[in-house]
Amino acid sequence: MKKEVTIVGVSGYGGGELVRLLARHPDIKLVQALGDTHAGQPLSSAFAGLHGSEVGTLICEPKTSKVRGEIVFLAQDNGYSSGVAGTLLAEGRTVIDLAADFRLKDTEAWEKFYKLPVPEESVREKAVYGLPERHREQIRGARLMANPGCNATAAILALAPLIEAGVLENSPVIVDVKAAVSGAGRAKSDAPYRFSERNESVVPYNVGGVHRHIAEITQEAGVTPTFVPHLIPMSRGIVATCYAPLKNKSSLESLYEVWKRAYASEPFVIVRDSGDWPTTKDTLGSNYCHLSATVDPSTGLVVLISVLDNLGKGASGAAVQNMNVALGFEETAGLEGAGIWP
């Protein structure tokens, strides 16, 4: 029997991508979509691409409606999940949170970066950082998953195994991100997100030490990078270009060995040859993360290129993958296939 799923916050970009992915998932059925923007209207009114599909006829409900799904995706602003997760868990549901509320173990980091109350400890302690490539065993059977930040996923997948294996020095590490505009979310409609101003422009923001995803990288990869994001005039996609010193006795070969060992059985991490540089279009609409690396001989610095779709492996694709692992479905269910090209 198919498990029933509820999405809370269906009107945003993350919610829309969840609907698209879940519609082709063999083991679940989307039974409830909550979101005030389109309450009372069919999902196809929010996402016209759903016209003609069964899921498009599902009527959205107000955000405060009673949740019915055994599995609940929370795609709301930071701070919302803290208030509802405890109840949902007590009712026996499995919760996958796309917001940041349960990502950080370090409550000081949470307060510093998010300036929001720390979620209740009894709920926090149940949360698993939802990156299967790092925590698959914990995710199996878990009831509360904190889906990682998009930039964090790109950086952690590149850096974490290399730091862990001692291939890289852990300082100075730099993560220079080129990110599509949808990463800011659909609600961000103020000036910086207007088409005419974002188009034909690269926009640095949160330069140096202030972006919230830094705390996740510190927690999961064991390094605190200088992190600088730049908005790019495109709808989807992230390139995280990471720089770090190669450790004494390490080499590009040993780096690749570590990556290949770490990701040999991973269905969604592609380790590409040095020189075969991935582009964001390689992952457009898919759940893959592509990695490639080189060593700059003149400086001894390693350059890691990590590419993914911020709404795929960076958000909703990862959320579905977490569900699959937690519930024991085929890990790739609903996530198969290449992205859109060109």
Task: Tell me the closest approach of the beta carbon of residue 90 to a second copy, in angstroms.
Answer: 34
Question: In angstroms, rounded to a whole number, what is the distance separating the alpha carbons of residues 51 and 175?
Answer: 40
Backbone angles phi, psi at 17, to 5 degrees: -70, -35
Residues in the chain: 342
Size, binding site for a second copy by CB under 8 A = 98
Q: Which of 207, 251, 253, 261 binds a second copy (CB under 8 A)?
A: 207
Closer by beta carbon to a second copy, 147 or else 316? 316
Site for a second copy in 322-341 (CB under 8 A): 336-341
By the 10 Å C-beta count (0-12 exposed, 13-18 middle, 19+ buried), 29 is classed as middle
Is 284 near a second copy (CB under 8 A)? yes
Backbone angles phi, psi at 98, to 5 degrees: -85, -10
Identity of residue 4: E
Closer by beta carbon to a second copy, 29 or else 68? 29
Which stretch, 75-83, 119-127, 129-137, 292-300, contacts a second copy (CB under 8 A)? Answer: 292-300
Q: Which of 196, 249, 264, 265 binds a second copy (CB under 8 A)?
A: 196
Closer by beta carbon to a second copy, 89 or else 311? 311
Is 301 near a second copy (CB under 8 A)? yes
Closer by beta carbon to a second copy, 72 or else 308? 308
Q: Is 269 left (phi over 0), alpha (psi -120 to 50) or beta?
A: beta
CB 125 within 8 A of CB 118: no
Q: Which of 110, 113, 288, 329 binds a second copy (CB under 8 A)?
A: 288
Is 50 near a second copy (CB under 8 A)? yes
> Beta-carbon neighbour count of residue 238 at 10 Å?
28
CA distances from 219 to 240, 267, 300, 304 (A): 18, 24, 26, 19
Site for a second copy in 210-229 (CB under 8 A): 214, 224-226, 228
Question: In angstroms, rounded to a whole number, what is the distance separating the alpha carbons of residues 61 and 153?
Answer: 31
Is 268 near a second copy (CB under 8 A)? yes
Q: Which of 83, 108, 120, 205 binds a second copy (CB under 8 A)?
A: 205
CB 342 within 8 A of CB 281: yes
Closer by beta carbon to a second copy, 92 or else 342? 342
Site for a second copy in 85-144 (CB under 8 A): none
Question: In angstroms, rounded to a whole number, what is the distance separating the alpha carbons of residues 340 and 328?
Answer: 28
Cα-atom radius of gyration of the chain, to the nearest Å? 19
CB 317 within 8 A of CB 304: no
Q: Which of 2, 140, 194, 260 binds a second copy (CB under 8 A)?
A: 194
Is 191 near a second copy (CB under 8 A)? yes
> Has 150 been annotated as catalytic?
yes
Site for a second copy in 167-186 (CB under 8 A): 171-174, 176, 178, 180-182, 186
CB 306 within 8 A of CB 242: yes
Which stretch, 68-76, 82-90, 231-239, 317-325, contacts a second copy (CB under 8 A)? Answer: 231-239
**Residue of 167, 318, 301, 310 lying closest to 242 (CA atoms):** 301
Site for a second copy in 5-24 (CB under 8 A): 13, 16-17, 19-20, 23-24
Task: Tell me the closest approach of the beta carbon of residue 296 to a second copy, in angstroms.
Answer: 4
Backbone angles phi, psi at 295, to 5 degrees: -115, 130
Site for a second copy in 237-256 (CB under 8 A): 237, 239, 241, 243, 245
- The two three-digit tokens of residue 116, written as one number: 């929001």
Task: Tell me the closest approach of the beta carbon of residue 312 to a second copy, in angstroms.
Answer: 10
Catalytic residue set: 150
